[in-house]
Amino acid sequence: MLVTDQGVRAVAELKCLTHLFLGGCSLVTDVGVQAVAELKCLTLLSLGGCLLTNEGVRALAGLTHLTRLNLLACSSVTDAGLRHLSTLKNLTYLNLDYCDTLNPRRRHSASRSPAS
């Protein structure tokens, strides 16, 4: 079974969820990520390989409890989109590997974040 935006909306009903792994769910788009953004208790979120753009990243800005965020291979996310993550003061790990539209220096800097 493939996970889609509709499936993510159903999962988003679990308001106390703290960890969500959607890595490799290539049918999840900004629409699904906007539903995920309602999960205010999330501390770990993996969106690697999802069809995420800067709009989806902007939706994540309200997840202030996030400590770990994986955006591996989210190739439509740009430096402008990452600026929205500046509100995530608890973030200790950010994976931007294979985000080819990002400035290489920004990718390197994020990949050095301490893993918890």
Beta bridge partners, 53, equal 76
* Threshold 0.85, pTM exceeds: yes
pLDDT tens per residue, range 35-75: 999 999 999 999 999 999 999 999 999 999 999 999 999 99
The verdict on domain 5-111 having CATH code 3.80.10.10 is: yes
Among candidate residues 85, 114, 115, 116, the one with its CA nearest the CA of residue 99: 85
Domain edges within the chain: 5-111
Residues 60 and 38: their CA atoms lie apart, in Å, by 9
